[in-house]
Chains A and B, each alone.
Chain A
Amino acid sequence: MTTATIDRPKAVEPQSIERAGPADEAAVATRQLVIISWSGELDRVWPMLILSSTAAASGLQARVFVTFWGLLPFVRDGVRITGENWMQRMLAGIQRPGIDHLKLSKMNFLGMGPWMMRRLSRQYGVASPRELLGAAQALGVEFVPCQMTMDLLGISREDLIDGMGEPAGAATAIGIMTEADASLFI
Chain B
Amino acid sequence: MDALLLSRLQFAVTTYFHFLFVPLTLGLSIIVAIMETLYVKRGDHDYLRMTKFWGKILIINFIVGVATGLTLEFQFGTNWSRYSQYVGDIFGSLLAIEATTAFFMESVFIAVWVFGWKKLSPRLHATIIWLVAGASTFSAFWILVANSWMQHPVGYVIRNGRAELTDFFAVVTQSYSILTFLHATAAAYILSGFFVMGVSAYHLLKKQHVNIFTQSFRIALSFTLIASIFAVVEGHMHGADLAEKQPAKLAALESVWETQSYSPLYLIAIPNLQNDGNLVEFGRIPGVMSLLAHHSPSATVTGLKDFPKELRPPVLPVFLAFRLMVGMGVLFMLLMIYGWFRRDKLESSPTFLKIMFYSIPLPYLVCLAGWTVTEVGRQPWIVYGLMKTSDAVSPIATSQVGLSLIAFIITYTLIGITAFMVIAKAVRQGPAPGEKEDL
Whether both chains belong to one complex is answered with no
Binding site for A on B (CB under 8 A): none
Interface residues of A (CB under 8 A from B): none
